[in-house]
Amino acid sequence: MSEQRSTKKRIVSGMRPTGSLHLGNYEGALKNWVKLQDSGEYECYFFIADLHALTSDYADTSALKQNTIDMTADWLAAGLDPERSTIFIQSAVPQHSELHLILSAVTPLGWLERVPTYKEQRENITEKDIGNYAFLGYPVLQAADIIMYKGNYVPVGKDQAAHVELTREIARRFNNFFGDVFPEPQALHTEVLVLPGTDGRKMSKSYGNAIYLADAEDVIREKARMMITDRTRIKRTDPGHPENCDVCQMHRFFTSPETADSFDDDCRGARIGCVDRKRVLADAIIERYGAIASRSRELRSNPDQVVDVLLKGSNRARIEAEKTMAQVRKAIKIDWV
Ligand code: TRP
């Protein structure tokens, strides 16, 4: 194998295995990963952060494997390509755990206690106990994930900004002690996008208001049918108020502005009913995501194939990770093996 590293910049990003992705996850994150991969400008590493899931959901890990498979099926269906990107499972590259421990030695406790997501979650999460050691170290593990591959760019949502910043600080501190091993990565923030859910709140798995990328047509139609429209429009002949209607607002997201404007006009003029608009909304969603949905369902019916992709990707990632770890062990002068 050549020791030469490609001159391309490296992209590293991961998602916790929460299972099926909804349309908001796709529009806000996955679509951007696919775009970065397709640009051909980067070497991409995308992984399932299952050890990160363990830091908060350690009490019940029974869904982890299935969630990993479902999420990977969505990734592949959406266009992540194992020929062009290294797609892997964090835990299948044990070097992440090793680097996490080494970085934890150079990370001051105060840095971790000040991370805004940590403080926020300690205050707000009551349904599970996150007073454990690993949860505080969550950003240290994330730093290990990123600098393991000497990542240059980290495509993440704005909520992850503090974690990437901390990664830079940890890399800098390591380099100060042990010599220049790691480049400092930069966040590539995706534009903030809030997709409405079927109940008008932000689309979120935990609100139970999400439409999933892999949802079948009849499921999408049923979800659209259950949505709330303009509450003041009682009869079909009443004029509607599209600005107060979840269905109209959501339809606007999934179609062109011209089409949405023209439907809004018809709604105001009572020329179209809410049931019809729901049907058009469902059609628009199916048209836009139908191909991804059927590919994802096909992959799910073939889990061995999905696992095979992940294990092959993990083998590749492990080779890169081991190169970095050899340098790290040497740098810290703990290099017996
Ligand atoms: N913390 C990230 C999130 O919740 C997931 C993650 C883990 C990650 N390791 C990473 C993202 C490394 C980017 C790079 O979304």
User: What pLDDT, in 10s, does the model give residues 61-78?
Assistant: 999 999 999 999 999 999
Q: Order of strands, edge to edge, in the sheet holding 186-189?
A: 85-89, 42-48, 9-15, 153-156, 186-189
CATH topology of domain 2-194+303-331: Rossmann fold (3.40.50)
Residues 184, 161: Cα–Cα separation, whole Å: 14
How close is the Cα of 16 to the center of ligand 1, in Å?
7
Sequence ranges of the chain with CATH classification 3.40.50.620: 2-194+303-331
Cβ 12 under 6 angstroms from ligand 1? yes
Residue 281 Cα to ligand 1 midpoint, Å, equals 33
| Distance of alpha carbon 149 from alpha carbon 328, whole angstroms | 12
Above pLDDT 70, what percent of the chain? 99
Q: From the CA of 298, how far away is ligand 1's center (Å)?
A: 27
Q: Is the CB of 43 under 6 A from ligand 1?
A: no
- Ligand 1 pocket check for 50: Cβ under 6 Å: no
List the structure tokens of 4: 């030469």
Q: Which helix (DSSP H) or strand (DSSP E) does residue 210 occupy? A: none
Q: How far is the CA of 166 from the centre of ligand 1 (A)?
A: 13
Residue 3 pLDDT = 55
Nearest residue by C-alpha to atom 3 in ligand 1: 15
Kindly give the parts of the chain with pLDDT less than 50. Answer: 1-2
Q: Mark out the alpha helices in 227-273 (DSSP H runs).
A: 246-254, 257-268
Residue nearest to atom 9 of ligand 1 (CA): 142
Q: Where in the chain is the domain with CATH 1.10.240.10?
A: 214-296
Quote the pLDDT of residue 5: 78
CA gap 104, 144 in Å, rounded: 9
pLDDT at 337: 87
Q: Report the nearest atom of ligand 1 relative to the CA of 163.
A: 1
pLDDT at 16: 97
Superfamily of domain 214-296: Tyrosyl-Transfer RNA Synthetase (1.10.240.10)
pLDDT at 1: 47
Q: Does residue 195's CB lie within 6 angstroms of at least one atom of ligand 1?
A: no
Angle between helices 217-226 and 274-300 (to 10 degrees): 150
| Look-up of token digits 């999460």 | 125
- Which among 15, 32, 140, 159 is the best mutation to test ligand 1's pocket, defined by most ligand atoms within 8 Å of the CB? 15
Nearest atom (ligand 1) to Cα of 16: 5
Answer yes or no: is the C-beta of 13 below 6 A from any ligand 1 atom: yes
Could you tell me if the CB of 146 is within 6 A of ligand 1?
A: yes
Question: In this structure, what are the phi and psi dihedrals at residue 46, rounded to the nearest 5 degrees?
Answer: -125, 130
CA distance linking residue 86 with residue 311, whole number of Å: 10
pLDDT of residue 4: 67
Question: What pTM value is reported for the model?
Answer: 0.95
Tell me which residue has its CA closest to atom 5 in ligand 1: 15
Say how far apart CA 4 and CA 266 lie, in whole Å: 62
User: What's the CA gap between 332 and 192, in Å, rounded?
Assistant: 40
